[in-house]
């Protein structure tokens, strides 16, 4: 179980790095939104590429943020019921939830892969004049982020399994 816990620690490190990337991108997103609002209301318009770049930056922020929330135990649950359960029952419920999370994340990967393959095969870009050319790169974030989510759910499951065995 010690190797599994060390593996889980490694996944946590990857997730923390992804969280730092998401935080940096969030700052970029705020600056970009400011630029677009300033352009729209002061200058009279903002370029299409800048408007599209907002969602190109927002997508990885949201997708990576999901995994960071899982690491930090910030996901939604009914705490008023959960808190009344004994610790062992909490770990069991969390273990089941994390294993279900792995399955759901893998399903997202499976069903988004065709969507992403299609975008890559045609090098999908913006249909708008002046839009960004590499929309397929952003779409590739979907399976990549859900792979990271599956890994983080697995890491959390390892920790809950260890706690149930009295090893954590």
pLDDT at residue 168, rounded to an integer? 67
CB atoms within 10 A of CB 118: 12
- Give the H or E element holding residue 159: helix 141-164
Angle made by CA atoms 91, 93, 145, in degrees to the nearest 5: 95
pLDDT-wise least confident of 12-26, 42-56, 67-81, 130-144:
67-81
| For the chain, domain boundaries | 2-164
Quick one: which of 166, 165, 120 has its CA closest to 142? 120
Q: What is the pTM of this model?
A: 0.88
Distances (CA, A) of 139 to 55, 79, 123, 128: 11, 34, 11, 17
Whether pLDDT at 159 is above 90: yes
What pLDDT is attached to residue 87? Answer: 92
Q: Does 82 score more than 70 pLDDT?
A: yes
At 98-107, the pLDDT tens digits run: 999 999 999 9
Lowest mean pLDDT among 55-59, 116-120, 124-128, 136-140: 124-128
């Amino acid at each position: 179980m010690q190797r599994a816990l060390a593996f889980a620690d490694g996944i946590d490190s990857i997730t923390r790095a992804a969280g730092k990337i998401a935080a940096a991108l969030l700052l970029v997103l705020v600056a970009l939104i400011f630029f677009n609002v300033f352009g729209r209301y002061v200058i009279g318009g903002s370029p299409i590429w800048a408007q599209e770049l907002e969602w190109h930056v927002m997508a990885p922020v949201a997708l990576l943020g999901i995994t960071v929330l899982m690491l930090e135990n910030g996901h939604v649950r009914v705490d008023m019921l959960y808190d009344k359960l004994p610790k062992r029952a909490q770990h069991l419920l969390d273990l089941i939830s994390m294993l279900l999370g792995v399955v759901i994340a893998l399903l997202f990967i499976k069903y988004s892969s065709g969507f992403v393959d299609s975008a890559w095969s045609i090098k999908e870009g913006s249909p708008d004049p002046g839009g960004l050319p590499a929309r397929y790169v952003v779409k590739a974030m979907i399976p990549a982020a859900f792979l990271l989510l599956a890994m983080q759910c697995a890491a959390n499951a390892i920790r809950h399994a260890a706690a149930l065995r009295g090893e954590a």
